[in-house]
Each structure stands twice: as C-alpha cells, then as structure tokens.
Structure 1
C-alpha cells in the first residue's frame, strides 16, 4: 500500500527538497503541497493523505495550530502528522504532541531516516528524534515534585488499559506490549483504542505525554522510544 504524503513548509526550496526525498521511495507518493497553515488545512480537507509533513514555524498560522485543526476536521482515520523544524525547543515539542502530532523530527535529519520516520508514523507508531526524547525525559526529571495524583479521567481506565497506557508511555510497540502482558496484539489494540477514547486522545504520542504527566511513569522506570 502506497503512503500518501502532504508536504507543508513556507519555504519553496525546503518543500522541493522534501518532495524529492519522498519521491525517491516507491512506497510513498506526494499528494499535495502547502506553504502555510491555512493552506495546509484546506489541502488536507480536499486531498486524502496518510501522513502530513508539517513545518512548525510558518507565518499566519503555525504548524501546531494547523495540526490541531486538521485532526479536528478529519474523518477517521485521520492523517498522521510528522512535525519538522530546525528548532529543538521544549515548548514546540510539547505543543505539537498535545495538538495530536505523531512525531517530531529535525529538518537536518538524513534522507534515509526521514523516509523511515514517515513509514513509522504511517504505521501509527510514535516517532521522536533522540534529542527530543532526551528533552521530554529531562522535562519530567527537572520537575521538583512529580504530580502523582491520578486524574479523574484516568480513574475510568480498567487495570489492563492502565497497564497498556504505561507501556505505551515507555515506548513499547503493540507487539511488545502483547508479549509483556501475555495477551494478543488485537487485545492490545482494543485496549489502546478504548483508553484513547476515554482520555480524549487523538494520537499515540499524546498517550506518551499523558503517561508521564499522570505519574504512571517515573523517570528512570522507562523511556519513550527514539
């Protein structure tokens, strides 16, 4: 199955480079381009895409706002959003993940790794650059007193759903979670779908952040996959 990609960046030269990289992979196809957040929303509504490569800093409407709008307007299954930026800054990482992005990569990522990143998020997995993963973990390490109170929403989860959320936060794939809990992968997928519905999460990446913020994961107990 060919993965359909929408490329969003305000710089024509960067877009051209990304398009050339994507077209070098026979398993990927470029279905459209956009130069700002507003155009990205319109293109995503008009042209079905599996993955949106989204620049985070654009004039008018940035990538975070565009991501939030695209996911809000999209029918199921919504496209996976892979954020691209030259800036490795915490506020952008968290804002993008909370908005529903499935991954976060720096623009200087080698072409081969970029193609792997697109394939990873297309499969529904979380993709964080190693430097971004370190910052995510350091953010919670630096908190003076972790908030270990269980949110009211988290109390809705069953024991198995909570266990799945914790392992998702540690970066495990569905196959690894199934092995760890001694259950079928289909069961893992069902638990994940239900917990994401209960917690109103739109991406696996948001589940990772929730696992940390809720105190389900204590730093040093596990880490997100990079």
Structure 2
C-alpha cells in the first residue's frame, strides 16, 4: 500500500515466504527489494545472500525491514550486502524514503541501527580494516565527507549544509570509499568511528 500510492514507485511483486521472494526477484528483477528477515520457508538472510552473490542481480538493492534489532541480524545483514536496514517501528514515510535513497545508489540505516553498528564494530573488531597508509591518502575534504556520512545525512543534506553541490559530495564520498576499500556508506561509518573523527554537530 505504501509503495503503490507513490507516483514515482511501482510495485512489481509481493511474496509470502522466502522461496517465493527469491523466485520473484529472479524473474522480475526489481531495483529495490524490501526484505523481511523472519519468513517461512527460507530465512530472509538466506534470500539476501542469494541475491547479493548473483551477478544477474547485481543491480538489485536490498532494504531489510524487520521488527528485530538483534545484534546478530544487523551485522549479518550488513555483511551480506544489505543497502538499508530499517525497523518496522519507524514511520511509513521513512520506508518510502529508504526505497528512493537506495535506488539512487546510497545506503541507509535507521539512526538506532547506525549507533548499534558503531558500538558493535568498535567492541568486537568486526567490519573493514583500512591500514594507516590507506587512511593517510584521504584528503582533508574526503575525511570531512566521511565524518558527515557517519552522521547519517544524505548527500543532498550534506550539500545543503556545506553550500556545495550534491555531485561534489558524491565525488568526495566515492573517492574515500575507493581509497579505503569500503563497500558502502555503512562501512564509512565504521572507519569514522575507528579513526575517532569528530562528527559534525557533536
């Protein structure tokens, strides 16, 4: 219902279990998959892994939507390649926004999930590890962008705050990701935390 009432979004299919979900993704090949983790037949994490390792589905971006905020699920979903992670308790508008954000090539985590990822990675040592040499190759502007990304702001929000174009933000963020070997913005959050970057507004 949320998707169908948006003029710029099109619902291409619905599934009642994991096997049906995977079959639909393979046949319809949507740009964005809203995926529940707790499904009969095949667990959502297995569906996620099957989608992200399939070269034919490389364009499909996955937003995990769940009632659970369990540490294991958060980390597993991110490691498996989820582009977004939202709780069902969030307001409907945030879910629609998430679809648009990940369709545009960005990653999105709810604020509570971002905080949990930072805490867990810092405590357990999970996630990406960039050497000091890689981190030192970042320019001052690229480090600034990493810090802004860690606040959870979108490229457009950062651009408005810094009075620069979204394309400029996107370029700096992309270069930082390449230099650090980060798969997505969620991993940039981890790097920012590990390097002790002062976050804007804190």
Do the structures match in fold with TM over 0.5? yes
Q: 1:175 to 1:119 in 2, by over 3 A?
A: closer
Name 1:95's counterpart in structure 2.
Answer: 76
Matched, 1:216 2:200: no
Q: Gapped runs of 5+ residues in structure 2? A: none
In structure 1, the partner of 2:46 is 65
Q: Find 1:166's aligned residue among 140, 143, 147.
A: 147
Match 1:154 to one of 119, 125, 134: 134
Match of 1:123 among 104, 126, 129: 104
User: Under a length normalisation based on structure 1, what TM-score does the superposition of the two structures give?
Assistant: 0.65
Q: CA deviation at 1:168?
A: 1.7
Per-residue deviation, 1:134: 4.0
Change (3 A) 1:57 1:177: same
Unpaired stretches in structure 1, ≥5 consecutive residues: 1-19
Q: RMSD between aligned alpha carbons?
A: 3.6
SS at match of 1:33: coil
Work out whether residues 156 and 198 of structure 1, in 8 Å CA contact, stay in contact via their aligned partners in 2.
Answer: no
List per-residue Cα deviations over 1:84-110 (Å, max 9, x = no partner).
111121221122122222222222434
Structure with greater strand percent: 1
1:115-141, Cα deviation, whole Å (9 max, x unpaired): 233233333444333432443354467
SS in structure 2 of the partner of residue 32 of structure 1: coil
Structure-2 separation of matches of 1:96 and 1:172: 21
CA distance in 2, matches of 1:127, 1:80: 11
Match of 2:59 among 60, 65, 78: 78
The residue aligned with 2:94 is 113
TM-score (normalizing by structure 2): 0.72
The count of residues paired between Structure 1 and Structure 2 equals 196
Q: 1:26 aligns with which of 1, 4, 7?
A: 7
